[in-house]
A and B are shown apart, each in its own frame.
Chain A
């Protein structure tokens, strides 16, 4: 089955700096890669996703890049703010992102923004 690895497990960055979280996946059939943000005590929420037919997607301060050949994808957060502090999970699926995805999650990254 799919195996998703995520690094680093913890990350501290100064407010205003950029943060990068990386994930690798094992199943070359995976074609949908969402990223979730989980604040303390709250449910995970989708922040951005990418499908295998594109290499990069951006939404304001958040971007995701995908390298299908190397089987890795990354989350980039620019101009970080204190409210970006949370645990971030990457995930992978072979479902294409059309719904009812069986997601395999990475191990999570605890991001702390230092004011």
Chain B
């Protein structure tokens, strides 16, 4: 199947700093990518839809100025958590579709200390 690569897999940062997470489709082009957040033992909550060449579409309750999304190419979307706080600590995961199937990145565990 198609491969979606996410980097980094783990990151620890200090409160107030920003963290960038990359999501790449390795062997296919993705005009749309999705960013999810997953709390421990909970479901995947859609945060935003990343659209190549245009602004991301954010779900209700997700602060667009805090979670900056850039989809500058057909194979790369980035999520930047700005001015991170401990409550932003979570598992972030992206997905992209190749054909009819959605493929997920391996996820990024963010810990804000």
Contact = CB atoms under 8 A, between A and B. Distances in A.
Given A99-B97, A102-B49, A45 B43 contact: no
Interface residues of B, number: 22
A1 B100 CA distance: 22
Interface string B84-102: 0000000001000111111
Nearest to A104: B46
Nearest to B98: A99
Interface in A48-66: none
A108 B106 CA distance: 18
Interface string B52-87: 000000001000000000000000000000000000
A89 B97 contact: no
A106 B49 contact: no
A89 B44 contact: yes
A46 B99 CA distance: 13
B105 A43 contact: yes
Contacts of A98: 100
Contact of B104 (A43, A100, A102): A43
Given A43-B93, A43-B107, A101 B102 contact: yes
Nearest to B9: A41
Contacts of B42: 107-108
A97 B106 contact: no
A42 B43 CA distance: 14
B27 to A, nearest CB: 15
Given A34-B102, A43-B104, A100-B31, A105 B97 contact: no
9 smallest CB-CB distances across A and B, nearest first, come from A43-B104, A99-B97, A100-B32, A107-B43, A105-B43, A105-B44, A100-B97, A44-B104, A43-B106
Given A43-B93, A44-B93, A102-B46, 10 more contacts: A43-B104, A43-B106, A45-B104, A46-B101, A97-B100, A99-B99, A100-B97, A105-B43, A105-B46, A108-B42
8 contacts: A42-B106, A45-B104, A100-B32, A100-B97, A102-B34, A103-B34, A103-B102, A110-B41
Interface of A: 1, 6, 34, 42-46, 89, 97-108, 110
